[in-house]
Structure formats: structure tokens, C-alpha cells
Amino acid sequence: MHRPAFLFCVLLFLFAVSVQAIPIHVLSWGTLGSADGEFNFPRRLAVGPDGSVYVADRNNHRIQKFDNEGNFLITWGGLGSEPGQFNYPFGVDVDAGGFVYVSERLNNRIQKFTAAGSFVMMWGSFGFGPGLFYYPVGVAVDSNGNVFVADSFNHRIQKFTNTGVFIATWGTQGDGTGQFSFPVTLGVDAFGNVYVGDSGNRRVQKFNNTGGYILQWGGQGDADDQFQSPRGITVDGAGDVYVVDQAPSTIKKFSSTGTFILEFGGAGSAEGLFDRAEDVAIDGDGNIFITDPGNNRIQKFSDLAVPVKVRNWGSIKARYHTRKKN
């Protein structure tokens, strides 16, 4: 091979392995209202094993379930404190068996339902001891069925069995390693590691399944690895971590060790933009779902996009933003 051709191939290879694809907008659904398929400030969402999307429709005090293309399926709830009712449902997650877990900010409890919305059980009430909550806003379930709750105003994470039996807790108020300032969200990877959106400290902290500290990244700012207001967190099948930064309404993607990969989104009402983006979830095919509360809609993205941006290497640094779909 001639030297110029060889060098060209090397450069092409280096470019290919360093390119990252901006997720492209696929569809949106929802508008302000209380009818089926409408929302009043949707907060968190989760994707079930079959690809169904569950949305905590906060101000309508209900859960809505959709298929993977945004078609309405069922809803349940209503304002109240009885089993199956909600008072500001906030977090939602689905386990491998399809059971749905919902955290309620003002009822200070976790409720468990079938995939069809039938009430199974609940646990928790207001308080400061083990198994009690003060504004539980985030919930996540690992592959073994352990349930993790971001007990926000108690500045801690609590761990339970899937029947609500208390297992452990960790965290106190502060900005030190393993401490929290209003933790608001959780993500769990395939190894059971727990990522916590430590909102007041503008960072993400990573722990093992028993609460052992591993690492952290973030801090307040506009740099690639910083946050203004970290909210929803999820982990994809490759172990990469997606974090919603609510103030700029962007979604940042990191490696499992906190290395910045890409960023997309921004503030607005057009497709691919958000008004106070809140949460992110990913299905088994890599489709990305994001709650857009200020626009009262859900947006779906595909990560099977045309590569349009290059990661950092050497002394050259590029910051990446959304590229509109043609």
C-alpha cells in the first residue's frame, strides 16, 4: 500500500472510532390536559420489559401507560391517600417481572402495581427512621428486585426488597464523599451499581449495591462534566450513563467512570428541545425516552443516528450540541 493511502486509512479509522452519534428525534406525544394521553407536568418515566412506557403524570395524580410508539394503553390513580391513589406521584420504575413501583412525594410512600395497574402493596410513611420517608422522589429497581429510593429531604438512599422489607440506608446531609444534598434520582446498571443524582451538590455519585462509595463527577458549571441541575439518570445496555441537566434542558451521556461522551437537547418547544427536561429512560433497542414537563409531552429519540460529532483527543476539544434532523 502506498504511504498516502495508508495514512488516509489510519486517519479514517481514528475518525471512525472517535465519532459519536447524536440521537435523533423520532416522535413526541402529549399536550396539556387531563384526558387519556394528555399530561399535566409529567415528571418521571420508565420502560417495561415489553417496551411499554410508564409516565408519572404528577399534577393529574396518575400513572399513564403507553406502547413504545406513544399510543395510550391504560391509566390508573387519582388524587388521594388510599391504596392505588396518589398525591403527586414522582418516581416510577419497572422490574424484570413487569411490576411497577411508584414513589409519592406527599404521601411519603412507595406503591407497587402489576403491569395492568392493579394494586399489589405499599410501604412507608412520613418520618426519619429506617423505612420512613421525607419526600421520596426517585425509585429504581435492580436485576435482583432490590428497590432503591432517593429519600430526598432525609438526604439518603434507602434499599428494600421488592416486598418493602428494609435492607439498608446510606448518606447524610453534606457535600463530602457519600453525603447528599437533596438526592432526587437513581439509576442502576447491570452490575447493580447505583448512580445518584445529588441535586444540591450538582454531581453524580456512584456506589456499589450495598452503598459502598466508588466515584463521583460533576460540580456546578457549564463544562462538559458539570451540571446546573442534575435530574433523571439511566444506564444503557453498554453501561453508559445518561443524565438530564434540567436548567439548560440538555441530556449528557457519560461512560461508567464519568468521562463525558456527548450532549444533546436544549431549551425550547420545537422537536428535540425541552422545557425543564426531567427524566430519561432507555428501552432494550436503545430508544431514548425523555419527559418534557413544561411542554407536557414525552419525546422519543433513536441512537441509530448519523455520526455528527467527534470526541476529544489530544489538545483539540469540541463541545457538542443538537443537530436537527433533515
Quick one: three-class SS letters along the chain?
Answer: CCHHHHHHHHHHHHHHHHEEECCEEEEEECCECCCCCCECCEEEEEECCCCCEEEEEHHHCEEEEECCCCCEEEEEECECCCCCCECCEEEEEECCCCCEEEEECCCCEEEEECCCCCEEEEECCECCCCCCECCEEEEEECCCCCEEEEEHHHCEEEEECCCCCEEEEECCECCCCCCECCEEEEEECCCCCEEEEEHHHCEEEEECCCCCEEEEEECECCCCCCECCEEEEEECCCCCEEEEECCCCEEEEECCCCCEEEEEECECCCCCCECCCCCEEECCCCCEEEEEHHHCEEEEEECCCCEEEECCECCECCCCCCCCCC
**How many other C-beta atoms can be found within 10 angstroms of the C-beta atom of residue 242?**
24
Quickly list H helices, the chain.
Answer: 3-18
**How many other C-beta atoms can be found within 10 angstroms of the C-beta atom of residue 62?**
22
Burial class (CB in 10 A: 0-12, 13-18, 19+), 1: exposed
Give pLDDT, residue 303: 80
Give pLDDT, residue 323: 37
Q: Which residues of the chain have pLDDT under 50?
A: 1, 6-18, 306-326
- In the numeric block, the cell 439518570 is attached to 233
Distance separating alpha carbons of residues 282 and 235, to the nearest angstrom: 8
Give pLDDT, residue 4: 53
Give pLDDT, residue 19: 53
User: In 3-state terms, what secondary structure has residue 297?
Assistant: strand
Give pLDDT, residue 3: 58
Tens of pLDDT, residue by residue over 176-209, are 999 999 999 999 999 999 999 999 999 999 999 9
- The answer for 276, left when phi > 0, alpha when psi is -120 to 50, beta otherwise, is left
- In the numeric block, the cell 421488592 is attached to 162
Give pLDDT, residue 244: 98
